[in-house]
Amino acid sequence: MGTDMEGVLQEISVDRRKDLKRIGLIINPIAGMGGPVGLHGTDNMLGEALARGASPVAEDRAREALACLLPFREELEVLVPGGAMGGRLAAEMGFRTVRISGEDEAESAASAKAAGPAEGESSASAVRSAAEQETDAAAGTARLYATGRADTVRAAAGLLALLPDERPCLVLFAGGDGTAKDIFSGLGTAIPCIGIPAGVKIHSPVYARSPKAAGRIAAGRLSGEISGTREAEVLDIDEEEYRNERISTRLYGYLMVPDDSRRIQNRKEPAPLSDRDAAAAIAADVADNMERGCRYLIGAGTTTRAVMEELGLPCTLIGVDLVQDGRLIASDIYGAEIETAAKSGPARLVVTVTGGQGFLFGRGNQQITPGVLRAVGRKNIIIIITPAKLAELGGRPLLTDTGDHELDKELAGYYRVITGYGQRTICKVETA
């Protein structure tokens, strides 16, 4: 990625005028086009969609969001990749733009052909090959929107490569879970961003509820009304599991998103703890009740990370760490290692929900296999969830989808979930 970035840097000339606000915009132009035939997510998705008369949607979704920023047009600079990835739209809507990567509209189709498929890429190369088999019109459209996931990563990385005071205050990106993954690869958690939902599959809570909502959040960011940020999960379907006919979302990481939980103050009592403080309170409870000689498997997620922070240990945010007597025994363990850890002596498993739908197992923590769960045993599962995350479920049960139906059945029932220091909430666990 290092060499990529050097190239990026040369392309950019950011207007250094201090009074301009900056916002990033990255559109995955093909996102959402596979809707009607998205059931299999095959290579032919885009071609088929085009053949059935589907048209690109991501740009329109982004337009809806950007419309909320029109009042800021005069004081705003949009940092954007060229062409269908945002440059064209931003310019068309009259925003002052600065290109961060990619080519302009005329070049994009040709260059798409010239570029070889990047390693590990699926959609981009797939789009191209599929498109070529289609009618001329469809092929033309396909070519026009042909971008690779590498382009998204590169655009995001380009923003990251800017000097801190040149960076945008927010990156808007349009796409689906795959796009979020790419933004995460390029951007990490350095710059806040918010997703404009445009893709077919949207499991990651980095996306706003609607394009308009994304636009409003961006406007709030620009006006200074929304100043806080929080980490939100980047999830994507685990394709390997998926081929085995099991839906399983994997946790890839976290993006920083604006915290727009409006401070509607309840003037009669104090506000509840912020999610971060709540996680710290939970972590203190877990840490204070740890037993000597017992192995603790901890992860994954931000709530379980708080436990590692409380213990002063490094943490694998999206993986499982092994702790005993306050010491870190192993980081990010999986496979045989985690099974061994679970089986050799008394073990406890500290988990939280992942994947937004209240999944305890089977979404985002595949390291915790049925073998691990059986070895640890139901009564040694310590579930920790912040009150705000629990409230989002509105009282619905926590779900398991371990792939082992017998085990799911055994795990079902009521649990005392740790939701604060000295505070428990009774939660029902059910098979998904």
Partner 1 sequence: MKGFDSHPYIPDSVPEIQEEMLREIGVASLDDLHKNVPELLTLKEALDIPAAFPSEMALRREADRILSRNADCGKYINFLGAGCWQHYVPAICDEVNCKGEFLTAYGGEPYNDEGRFQALFEYESMVAELVGMDVVNVPTMDWAQAAATSISMAQRITGRSEILIPEYVDPQKVDIISNYTEAALNIRRVKCGPDGMTDLSDLAAKTGADTIGVYFENPGYLGVIEEHGQEIAGMMHDSGALSIVGVDPISLGVLEAPAEYGADIVCGDLQPLGIHMYYGGGQSGFMATRDEERFVMEFPSRLFGIAPTSEPGEYGFGDVAYDRTSFGHLRDKAKEYVGTQTALWGITAGVYLATMGPAGMEEVGNIIMANAQYAASRLATVPGVKVDPFGSVFFKEFVVDFSDTGKTVAEINKALLSRGIFGGKDISGEFPALGQAALYCVTEIHTREDIDELVLALKKIVA
Partner 2 sequence: MKRIDRSETVRTGFHQAKWDEPIIYELSTSGERGILVGEPEQVIAGEMAGAKAVPGCMRRKSRVNLPEMSQSRVLRHYSRLAQQTLGADVNIEIGQGTCTVKYSPKVNDRIADSIRDMHPLQPAESAQGILRIFSETEQYLAAISGMDRFTFQPGGGSQGIFTMASVIRAYFKDKGEDRDEIITTIYSHPSDAAAPAVAGFNIIYLQPDPVTGLPDIEQLKAACSERTAAYIVANPEDTGVYNGHVKEFVDYVHSIGGLCAYDQANANGLLGVTRARDAGFDVCFFNLHKTFGAPHGCGGPACGATGVQSELVKYLPAPLVGYDGKKYYLDYETPSSPLGVRKIREWYGVSEVVLKTWCWIRSLGPEGLYQVAKTSVVNNNYLFKKLMELPEVTCYYQDGNNQRVEQARYSLENLEKETGIGTGDIQRRMMDFGMHYWTSHHPYYLPEPMTLEPTETPSKKDIDEYIETLKYVFREARENPEIIRTAPHRSVTHQVDESSMDDPEKWALTWKVYCRKYQ
Q: Is 426 in the site for partner 2 (CB under 8 A)?
A: yes
Residue 267 token pair: 């003037």
| # chain residues binding partner 1, by CB under 8 A | 18
Asked if 421 is part of the footprint of partner 1 (rule: CB under 8 A), the reply reads: yes
* For residue 51, cis peptide bond before it (omega within 30 degrees of 0): no
Closest separation in Å from C-beta 151 to partner 2? 31
Q: 10 or 266, CB closer to partner 2?
A: 266
Q: How far apart are CA 215 and CA 357, in angstroms?
A: 25
User: What contacts 67, CB < 8 A, 6 or more positions away?
Assistant: 93, 212, 215
Non-local CB neighbours of 101 within 8 Å, separated by 6+ positions = 8, 11, 81, 82, 151, 154, 155, 158
The verdict on 169 binding partner 2 (CB under 8 A) reads no
| CB closer to partner 2, 56 vs 211 | 211
Span from 45-53, 122-130, 229-237, 390-398 in contact with partner 2 (CB under 8 A): 390-398
From 21-29, 82-90, 131-139, 413-421, span contacting partner 2 (CB under 8 A): 413-421
d(CA 71, CA 188): 29
Does 70 interact with partner 1 (rule: CB under 8 A)?
no
Residue 306 vs 320, nearer CB to partner 1: 306
> Which class for 166: exposed (0-12), middle (13-18), buried (19 or more C-beta within 10 A)?
middle
Nearer to partner 1 by C-beta: 104 or 277?
Answer: 277
> Which residues sit opposite 416 in a β-bridge?
426
Q: Which of residues 251-270 bind partner 1 (CB under 8 A)?
A: 263, 265, 267-270
**Which H/E stretch holds residue 238?**
none
Query: For residues 270 and 335, which CB has a smaller minimum distance to partner 1 in the complex?
Result: 270
Residue number, 273 or 313, with CB nearest to partner 1: 273
Using the structure block, give the residue that is written with the tokens 């045989």. Answer: 336
44/55 Cα distance (integer angstroms): 15
Distance of closest approach, residue 431 Cβ to partner 2, in angstroms: 17
165 binds partner 1 (CB under 8 A): no
- Residue ranges that bind partner 1, judged by CB under 8 A: 263, 265, 267-274, 277-278, 280-281, 284, 288, 420-421
